[in-house]
Structure 1
């Protein structure tokens, strides 16, 4: 008798839905959504009244789940926002950094620092040897996805994110349940660490006081304001673009590099969900690139 992987994946998708966790299909053996993008939307079925993205199409409806997984061995994604989940992703070091601590080791240290034990909650082992810790978010909480904000090799998935569910497979292995306990409430210390900080208004940043042309002054303040007010999902791209744009004025001698770095770092910190180290690295690399590619004169 030939084993049909669709059966196991369908069963796992239905199990997640029974827990109240909306699911949607990922490409077989992959972590990317199997749903069509906006450019190829047929505007039929769920998209009759307009394109619906994966978070909107995630479902707990067993009939829709059976219909989707009857057509192929799709991996399973859980939409963490609609599921009311915060999933802590504990990664392992890459092959060339074997001496570095794993995400699990760092998370254990964070628990000890908070004076709390390692939480007992629904836990999934990832193919790489890392882990996903599932927690229920407090009612009304709006928590963002993060990358490295808690520590090295620790990411989180909440509103606007998804995780690969157990039974799904990739070329490196299978996602397996390690602890089938109910998802525990998000610990207060972890909620405090992940809650978005109040941010000062962008207008608080004073215009540059160094000697600069009117063009450079306007470009500087426009780019800083753009980074400080960028919408979620566009922040990183906005910061990269701003640093490259202002890097051209650094190369031409119209703006001092230190002033640009300080201003962009401030703007990113007031509006970001990533670590300050991450933003500063983006700024440094973007400025270096722009200066190297614009060694002389101003580029309009």
Structure 2
């Protein structure tokens, strides 16, 4: 993985006169730089939340939850992409964006973020050091991002067949984990509290492999299967539509996510051909689609 440039060149200006135009342009440049390294990104506001409003904000509470199956932007981390054209379109639709988020758990890096917070009364760095001594692992040299509050984000790379969930304080007080379905604020992002930046000496590092002993602490215990109705049901149809709605740079990621959900709900084998057909329709080669679904099957086996 190439260096994370803290000052990438500006590449695609936002519309003249747009709110925060210079900051949005700079955030876009940082996001494009991250995407070049295989990191899927989304625009963020000053509050560190996704900058695009949900297209379903006026839906009734009983409406089925959408993760982007509708094809519209505004689904948070599910909008994440490495495709420059898609990223530019997302930022064009978010003129108030001043930063970007990096989706965790996605190939090729399967990023895991260890968020060492600085909440009152906690020493998260010491807590992580104590965990390392107790469980006999060492935190390797890796990308480290400093937060405006004085905290640190450690970037680690997980194996493709392990899903690390998000958690807050479960590992130890002040230590939050960003895994599948979560995101990290990218270096160069400006928030209402300040700027995120890479710690000197770490920008040229790649996300290091997560130590196996730490990975075991981050992985939840096995859970029982709860089989769902066959692929003709609403859930199966929704997963297929989710794959069909993928843009370039999202196709493999969406297929992998949908296949994992299908296998977790006991409909993976029955839904495979429909998922393959949907993926091929978006432009993904059939062989790659089947390989991605097979990876999802292996990942969820025994979960």
Q: With the length of structure 2 as denominator, give the TM-score of the two structures.
A: 0.57
Q: How many residues align?
A: 193
Report the CA distance shift for 1:31/1:47 in structure 2 as closer, same or farther (over 3 A): same
Q: Which residue of 1 aligns with 2:85?
A: 63
Sort the Cα spacing of 1:171 and 1:197 in 2 relative to 1 into closer, same or farther, 3 A: same
SS at match of 1:4: helix
Are the structure 2 counterparts of residues 30 and 108 from structure 1 closer, same or farther at C-alpha, using a change threshold of 3 Å? same
Give the Å deviation of 1:64: 2.1
Residue equivalent to 1:175: 196
Q: Match of 1:191?
A: 215
- 1:203-260: CA deviation from partner (whole Å, max 9, x where unpaired): xxxxxxxxxxxxxxxxxxxxxxxxxxxx9xxxxxxxxxxxxxxxxxxxxxxxxxxxxx
CA contact (8 A) 2:42 2:102 kept: yes
Aligned equivalent of 2:32: 14
* Superimposed CA distance per residue, residues 5-64 of structure 1 (whole angstroms, 9 cap, x where no aligned partner): 23321221012111211111112x22111122242489xxx7655777223211111122
Kept after mapping to 2: 8 A contact 1:24/1:57: yes
User: What RMSD in Å do the two structures reach over aligned CA positions?
Assistant: 2.9
Structure 1 stretches lacking a partner, 5+ long: 203-230, 232-300
Matched, 1:144 2:165: yes
TM norm structure 1: 0.58
Q: Is the 8 A contact 2:104 2:183 kept in 1?
A: yes
**Taking CA–CA contacts closer than 8 Å with sequence separation of 6 or more, which of the two structures ends up with the larger relative contact order?**
2
* C-alpha separation in 1, matches of 2:27 and 2:134: 39
1:171 Cα deviation from its structure 2 partner = 2.3
C-alpha contact (below 8 Å) 2:142/2:155 kept by paired residues: yes
Task: Identify the structure with the greater helix proportion.
Answer: 1
From 25, 37, 47, the equivalent of 1:30 is 47
Over 3 Å counting, the alpha-carbon distance change for 1:47 and 1:188 in structure 2 is closer
